[in-house]
Structure 1
């Protein structure tokens, strides 16, 4: 299939596909004359990239999955490792944000208490 059809099937754009090729996320497509020709494995890889981006992966992180990888096959084991690391990172951020939220609740309560204690409030 040509690049337009690969873009349509994967839900990406032609521009994105060219960009992914240029940065090494997607192996260079076979050529039929001057046209790029993609197979279903390339479309599957494009779908993976799009899903990963929607889940918070940056292209640089995805490049680490594919660094040194050749061929259209997805390096599933490495993908699982990167996903596990991303889940851990998110868990740590959730814990930090939860702690920050608790501290804000305490701070707000102390402000309300201080405001109630102020002698100027009774004037």
Structure 2
């Protein structure tokens, strides 16, 4: 199939698809004359790339997810998604701790305001 069909099925732009090819994510694409000929596996991988980027995976993290036969290495995909999930969980914990500190500071400020006491400088 031609790039226009890949765009329709995946939602990716032609520029993005060519970029994925240029950086080696799609592997070698067969050609008929001047036209690239994409396979269903290529479309599936472009869809996977877009989904992975939507959850915060970088293109560099997607390298090596296709086997030599062009199929997707799903165990490797799952491992990378698990790693991203762990990163998100760690960030959530960091943000929760920051919110707790903010709540403490805000409570102190509100206490000062209600007591008509000068708040100490931070």
Structure with bigger RCO (C-alpha 8 Å, 6+ apart): 1
CA distance in 2: counterparts of 1:110 and 1:72, whole angstroms: 60
Q: Match of 2:117?
A: 118
Q: Match of 1:96?
A: 94
Aligned 8 A contact 2:65 2:74 in 1: no
Q: Match of 1:39?
A: 39
Structure 2 portions without partners, runs of 5+:
none
CA distance in 2: counterparts of 1:30 and 1:109, whole angstroms: 64
CA distance in 1: counterparts of 2:36 and 2:42, whole angstroms: 12
TM-score normalised by the chain length of structure 2: 0.87
Structure 1 portions without partners, runs of 5+:
none
Which runs of at least 4 in structure 1 moved beyond 2 Å after TM superposition?
Answer: 114-117
Q: Match of 1:73?
A: 71
- The count of corresponding residues between Structure 1 and Structure 2 is 117
Displacement of 1:70 in angstroms is 3.3
TM-score normalised by the chain length of structure 1: 0.87
Give the structure with the higher percent helix: 1
CA distance in 2: counterparts of 1:44 and 1:22, whole angstroms: 18
Q: Match of 2:105?
A: 107
